[in-house]
Amino acid sequence: MASISLLNPKAEIARAAQALAINISAAKGLQDVMRTNLGPKGTVKMLVSGAGDIKITKDGNVLLHEMQIQHPTASMIARASTAQDDSTGDGTTTTVILIGELLKQADIYLSEGLHPRIMAAGFDKAREKTLEVLENCKVPVEINKKNLMEVANTSLKTKVHPVLADLLTEVCVDAILTIANGTLEPVDLHMVELMEMQHKTATDTQLVRGLVMDHGGRHPEMPKRLEKCYILTANVSLEYEKAEVNSGFFYKTAEEREAFVRAERDFIDQRVKKVIDLKRSLCDGTGKTFVLINQKGIDPLSLDALAKEGILALRRAKRRNMERLALACGGTALNTFEDLQEEHLGYAGVVYEHVLGENKYTFVEDCKHPLSVTILIKGPNKHTILQIKDAIRDGLRAINNTIRDKALIPGAGAFEVRAYNELLVYKDTIKGKARLAVQAFADALLVVPKTLAINSGYDAQDTIVKLVTEDRLTPDLAGLDLATGEPMKPADMGIYDNYIVKKQIINSCSIIAGNLLLVDEVMRAGLTSLKG
């Protein structure tokens, strides 16, 4: 009898073979759910929340986040896979499938009496060899639009419809290249603003080389469209504020009270006057216009004064947009209007307001050197917009990873087939039972091309035999052509995966599978409620 049950009679225990069976069945169950999503020909899942909200997706990360997973082992695998997405932006479905397959292959040998510790040690050896093969397979790439388009397209086609994927690829690559501005360094993805507009169709999603803000001018007489604009970004209060300390004023006559009120108002008017003076000195007679974007408030009297001068003023802009505005238009975000000069201002070719139902959007476009851009996501309904948003995030990460690694891995299951063949050769150099674990690891890797074939409607065995034979005969990597079911060269078709994603998958899968194999007792012995 387990010692834990003496201490806690209510503890639920699963011993040795039973514990392993629990873990393996959980991994298999999760694998069966996710398997049909893999690759561009994968099917989509429809998630319905308790409130009846619908989410249609084939992005593994979204599925694992949204599904309610009760089983402890399955939720551990799901967490590991979502961590994969957090660090690299892709590869969640592959991680789940590979962990499931590693445990499935291990189960065959374990049922014949192989010790789990030997299995885990063999997995470690196989992992090191696979990473070595990965290093040999990586293709150094020049960072240019064509190469970035290929890797982004491969990633996006596994998330959304191919036609939409082609459009989003162009949008994502242009966004990154605009911000990179000729440097070959990874960019800060926070400088890409994702703005949603429930309007038209998904294929109307576009890149704005500037900024789109989700509010407009606050005065009916303000101009709706301005060209050749000076942009003043500020964090200065242009509204009457109460004193921060509790103070009282005493006055003897009504005139004194009027004087107090005038002095308070004058304090704000002086600030507005400085902006108006600057606008007059720079814009009058030059055909240029003036836009004020303020993070704090602007009261109706100040708005009135600015509107009379033809200045477009936006108040309560989001703080994150202040940094983006300075990068997109140039200029400096000011905290005071003392010593206002022309060099503090940014520039935009055109600023206009777009009204959609009750919502106003302000577009700041035609900036000289935009180091911050906006992707304007359009879609007829909420779940389409969310699906595009998730896909764009992954596409941007794929491009950034490529710039960071300066290398790619041929996709379409080509790397897994090459690793399988290399591991079979490597197996013969290992003495003892550990070689069985290397064999299991090699067989598990084939789950990726196998699943791609099944999801595209081809026979798994037939495809694998063709791919393995083709890979042995040629020095180039052979991947699976999903259109014909025949082997092809991924490089010719422009199908590439991120190096960092593959590396992360191999590392995390073998470690998690190894850990789950070494579990020989599962106890649910937490503190229960006192009622029972």
Q: Which of 139-148, 234-243, 268-277, 324-333 has the lowest mean pLDDT?
A: 234-243
Residues 262 and 321 in one domain: yes
| Cβ-contact 55, 66 below 8 angstroms | yes
Residues 287 and 337 in one domain: yes
Residues 343 and 417 in one domain: no
| Cβ-contact 61, 390 below 8 angstroms | yes
Choose among 39, 177, 166, 179: nearest CA to 483.
Answer: 39
Q: What is the pLDDT of residues 79-108, one digit of tens each?
A: 888 887 777 777 788 888 888 888 888 888
- The residue annotated as part of the active site, out of 57, 73, 88, 92, is 92
Name the band, by pLDDT with cuts 50, 70 and 90, for residue 4: low
Q: Which of 2-6, 352-356, 439-443 has the lowest mean pLDDT?
A: 2-6
Residues 423 and 357 in one domain: no
Q: Is the pLDDT of residue 527 over 60?
A: no
Residue with tokens 């020049």: 142
Q: Report the range out of 82-91, 223-232, 417-426 with the highest average pLDDT.
A: 417-426
Tell me whether residue 124 is one of the annotated catalytic residues: no
Structure tokens at 524: 């649910």
Do the domain assignments include residue 205? no
Output the pTM of the full model.
0.80
Give the CATH number, domain containing residue 31: 1.10.560.10
Instruction: Give 217-231 as a DSSP string.
Output: -SSTTS-SEEEEEEE
Give the CATH number, domain containing residue 262: 3.50.7.10
Residues 416 and 287 in one domain: no
Q: Report the range out of 73-82, 166-175, 341-350 with the highest average pLDDT.
A: 166-175
Name the band, by pLDDT with cuts 50, 70 and 90, for residue 5: low
Q: What is the pLDDT of residues 491-523, one digit of tens each?
A: 788 788 888 888 888 888 888 888 888 877 777
Tell me whether residue 394 is one of the annotated catalytic residues: yes
Q: What is the pLDDT of residue 90?
A: 77
Task: Give the span between the Cα atoms of 297 and 293, in whole angstroms.
Answer: 10
Q: What is the mean pLDDT of residues 290-296?
A: 82
Percentage above 70 pLDDT, the chain: 94
Q: What is the pLDDT of residue 1?
A: 46
| Cβ-contact 480, 148 below 8 angstroms | no
Do the domain assignments include residue 529? no
Do the domain assignments include residue 149? no
Name the band, by pLDDT with cuts 50, 70 and 90, for residue 2: low
Q: Is the pLDDT of residue 272 over 80?
A: yes
- The residue annotated as part of the active site, out of 57, 73, 82, 93, is 93
Q: What is the pLDDT of residue 531?
A: 45
Do the domain assignments include residue 403? no
Q: What is the pLDDT of residue 445?
A: 87
Q: What is the pLDDT of residue 524?
A: 66
Q: Is the pLDDT of residue 345 over 60?
A: yes
Q: What is the pLDDT of residue 116?
A: 82
Do the domain assignments include residue 321? yes
Choose among 146, 102, 152: nearest CA to 122.
Answer: 102
Structure tokens at 141: 């790439």
Tell me whether residue 214 is one of the annotated catalytic residues: no
- The residue annotated as part of the active site, out of 85, 107, 174, 394, is 394
Q: Is the pLDDT of residue 532 over 70?
A: no
What sign does the dihedral 417-418-419-425 (CA atoms) show? positive
Average pLDDT over the chain reads: 80
For the chain, the straight-line distance linking the first and the last C-alpha, in angstroms and rounded, comes to 23
Q: Is the pLDDT of residue 49 over 80?
A: no
CA 517 to chain centre: 32
Tell me whether residue 59 is one of the annotated catalytic residues: yes
Residues 360 and 280 in one domain: yes
| Cβ-contact 523, 10 below 8 angstroms | no
Do the domain assignments include residue 290? yes
The length of the chain, given as a count of residues: 532
Q: What is the pLDDT of residues 135-160, one digit of tens each?
A: 888 888 888 888 888 888 888 888 88
Residues 238 and 354 in one domain: yes
Residues 453 and 507 in one domain: yes
Q: What is the pLDDT of residue 3?
A: 56
Q: Is the pLDDT of residue 380 over 80?
A: yes
How many domains is the chain partitioned into structurally?
2
Percentage above 90 pLDDT, the chain: 0
Residues 349 and 434 in one domain: no
Q: What is the pLDDT of residue 243?
A: 63
Do the domain assignments include residue 516? yes
CB atoms within 10 A of CB 365: 18
Please report which helix (H) or strand (E) contains residue 285, including its range: none
Q: What is the mean pLDDT of residues 418-427?
A: 86
Q: Is the pLDDT of residue 219 over 60?
A: yes
Residues 246 and 123 in one domain: no
Name the band, by pLDDT with cuts 50, 70 and 90, for residue 230: confident
Do the domain assignments include residue 322? yes
Give the structural domain span for 271. 223-369
Q: Is the pLDDT of residue 530 over 50?
A: no
Q: Which amino acid type is present at position 240?
A: Y
Residues 329 and 266 in one domain: yes
Q: Is the pLDDT of residue 7 over 60?
A: no
Q: Is the pLDDT of residue 320 over 70?
A: yes
Residues 235 and 346 in one domain: yes
Task: Give the span between the Cα atoms of 26 and 30, in whole angstroms.
Answer: 6
What sign does the dihedral 156-161-166-172 (CA atoms) show? negative
Q: What is the mean pLDDT of residues 315-339?
A: 80
Distances (CA, A) of 151 to 48, 155, 419, 501: 32, 6, 21, 12
